[in-house]
A and B are shown apart, each in its own frame.
Chain A
Amino acid sequence: MTTTVYIGLIQSDLHAMSAFEIISSHTDQLVALRRYRTLSFVTNAPVGVCQQAVAACFEWVNPNKSRFTMNVGPWESEVEKPIVIRVQPTVPMRVSIPLPFKTLLPDVDVVTESVSWVFYVKDGIEANQVLSDWVISTQRGVGLLCNPIFESADIVVG
């Protein structure tokens, strides 16, 4: 069975804090914002082996952060219901795979990278609205989280 593994990595909150400040200057509907770096790959290996491989390469994955999750985004454990929007380059961006990872998962040739923005919004705000107004907008003052010239965005949870 082929399994797609997502590794959500808690990223420095500074990205989200700065973006939050700018978006909040345009709207009062945004309550909180988080940012995760997401790597995904497809493998036939059991989940346990995947975890082992990723753990062995944690330095490569994210050298100075404390944890990662697999298969489900880290936002799944949040109490409030989030809207999650993934931003990725229009040309899928691959990251090079280090040797320990490759040894444990020899069938993985490509690991693609994206960024997941997790929005906590006031009641009544829909994911589509978040996507069009705050993420994919081509308005220079607003289009902060995704540059539509070389990135695309889609709703993961919402």
Chain B
Amino acid sequence: MTPYVAVIQFPGSNCEYETARVLSHFGCNPKIIRWNEPDLLQDASGYVLPGGFSFQDRVRSGVMASHLPIMAQLSAGIKSGKPSIGICNGCQILAESGLLSESNHDQIDLGMAKNMSGHTSIGFVCDWVYVRPVHPEKSPLLRYFTPNDVLPIATSHAEGRFVLNHVLEARLSDTPHWMYCDERGQSGDFPITPNGGAVAGITAYSGRVLGIMPHPERAIFDWQLPWHFKHRTWTSSWEKLIVAFRELL
């Protein structure tokens, strides 16, 4: 059987086809697998959880999907070292499943809270923002980026603020992750940071799992970028993420 990447389609996913298209473009052989086909995960070499609104974001984003039987297979695969990327709602599902915090004790230690500016709820934010990697050299998925990279990316979510317990908070400075920034790489408040927290994405399991709230698959090709980005020369691009992912398969 040809190795393939499982793009897991949950009820309410809406980015699975564009994600599969990007994976296919970079030679990852994606296969869209439904939430009720857990057996097909077994032979996959890696996983991508695409964006969307699984279960209509009932109760809170990602929590319903995290209770699905397929999550047991996914968890086993991730713990065996298979590379995985969760984008937007996929990131929320990984967070709710404990797969972004490497929870061995079945305790909730990380949450994706609503977007806030100060104490005010700012609801759904759909915009172009910038992110930069922190400690990319420590993650096999981020290894082709450098700490000076600043990348444009589309963000589109209402519950994207990473809230960590004190253990994870203390560990964050050593964990490869993505931070929101302006085009010069400087941190800032809303709208530079679209959700009230500086973190845009977090890696886990020795950097082989990435949960990221903005959408790399919407910023890979030149034609996807808004016109006001196009006069700039970028030193990096999101294809580095997919190439690194492919090499881990």
Contacts and interface: CB of A to CB of B under 8 A. Distances in A.
Interface of A: 14-15, 18-19, 22, 89, 91-96, 113, 138-141, 143-145, 147-151
B197 to A, nearest CB: 10
A147 B97 CA distance: 12
A110 to B, nearest CB: 8
Interface string B27-65: 000000000000000000000000000011011100110
Nearest to A143: B108
21 contacts: A15-B59, A89-B113, A89-B114, A93-B119, A93-B120, A94-B120, A95-B120, A96-B120, A96-B121, A139-B107, A140-B98, A140-B103, A143-B108, A145-B59, A147-B60, A147-B108, A147-B111, A147-B113, A148-B108, A149-B165, A151-B111
Interface in B69-115: 97-98, 103, 106-111, 113-114
A113 B97 CA distance: 26
A144 B113 contact: no
Given A113-B121, A144-B59, A149 B109 contact: yes
B67 interface: yes
A148 B165 CA distance: 9
Given A22-B64, A91-B116, A94-B121, A141 B59 contact: no
Contacts of B97: 140
Interface residue SS majority, chain A: loop
Contact of B108 (A89, A91, A96, A138): A138
B163 interface: yes
Given A15-B58, A18-B55, A94-B121, A149 B110 contact: yes
A14 B56 contact: yes
B58 A150 contact: no
A96 B121 CA distance: 7
Given A93-B119, A140-B103, A141-B67, A18 B59 contact: yes
B58 A19 contact: yes
A144 B63 contact: yes
Contacts, number: 65
| Of listed A22, A91, A147, A148, residue having the most chain B CB within 10 A | A147
Given A22-B64, A141-B106, A147-B60, A92 B165 contact: no
A139 B59 CA distance: 16
B225 interface: no
Given A14-B58, A140-B106, A150 B64 contact: no
B164 interface: yes
Rank and list the top 10 A-B pairs by shortest CB-CB distance, nearest first. Answer: A149-B111, A147-B111, A150-B163, A150-B113, A18-B58, A15-B58, A94-B120, A150-B111, A93-B121, A138-B108
